[in-house]
Structure 1
Amino acid sequence: MANQEVYMDVNALLAIARIYKERGELVVVASRRIERLSTLLRDNAFAGRVGGAILSHHIDYMRPSLLEWARKSIQIGDDLQASVEAYQRGDEQGATRFY
């Protein structure tokens, strides 16, 4: 294993990092819209519509999972980008965040 050369396709990895970050940010935006929908349904339920209350409850239940998924996607994108930057600085493993 000594003297084993490591090669990283920097452009491809940066593209993957960008995709993860964009998807995470998209989920955050979707989560905000879902929160608005939940508020609307909750207000609707206050007016006497039980179906709106049930949907609002399910949306409120799912939202934390969506936000966690978004947070992890953004973190993976940031980690991949940090790894590429470390590789470009001379870290031959390119594994700065992954030790």
Structure 2
Amino acid sequence: MADEVFMNVPDVRNVAKTFKTIGEFLETVIKVMEGIIMALKAVAFMGLVGAYAVAQYLQQIKPEIKKMADKCVELSGDLNTSVDAFERGDQLGATRFY
């Protein structure tokens, strides 16, 4: 009995969908941040040094948000692949997470 694996497939699919949605949302956040950074740099060019500092800060955190977005999309794909393997009874594909 200990060798059996059970999975609530609809719940895992919902988790995968949630991660994909988060990843897509973070990609949108990155695009908005790029626009804000460009606007702040333009304002800084006109003499507002504080705007440039904010632009630099946003530019520093943007790569971290990109990594998080990529990981969420990757995890979504991994979860869906694992569920597919589980449904086929494929033990090799089901071992993705351990």
TM-score, normalised to structure 2's length? 0.91
When the two structures are aligned, how many residues end up with a matched partner? Answer: 98
Are 1:40 and 2:39 counterparts? yes
Structure 1 residues 15 and 93, CA gap change in structure 2 (3 angstroms): farther
Question: How far 1:93 sits from its partner (Å)?
Answer: 7.2
- Counterpart Cα distance in 2 of 1:33 and 1:73: 19
**What amino acid does structure 1 have at the position aligned with 2:18?**
I
Q: Which runs of 5+ in 2 are unaligned?
A: none
Higher helix share: 2
Determine the structure 2 residue equivalent to 1:87. 86
Q: Using the aligned pairs only, state the percent identity.
A: 34
- Counterpart Cα distance in 2 of 1:62 and 1:54: 13
Determine the structure 2 residue equivalent to 1:52. 51
Q: Which runs of 5+ in 1 are unaligned?
A: none
Equivalent residues of 1:17, 1:77 under 8 A apart = yes
1:8-87 residue pairs with structure 2 within 5 A?
A: 8-87=7-86
**What amino acid does structure 1 have at the position aligned with 2:82?**
S
- Counterpart Cα distance in 2 of 1:60 and 1:28: 14
- Counterpart Cα distance in 2 of 1:97 and 1:33: 34
Equivalent residues of 1:6, 1:93 under 8 A apart = no
- Counterpart Cα distance in 2 of 1:34 and 1:56: 9
**Alignment RMSD (CA, Å):** 1.8
- Counterpart Cα distance in 2 of 1:79 and 1:13: 11
- Counterpart Cα distance in 1 of 2:47 and 2:4: 68
Per-residue CA shift, 1:18-51, capped at 9, x if unaligned?
A: 0011001100101110110000000110111101
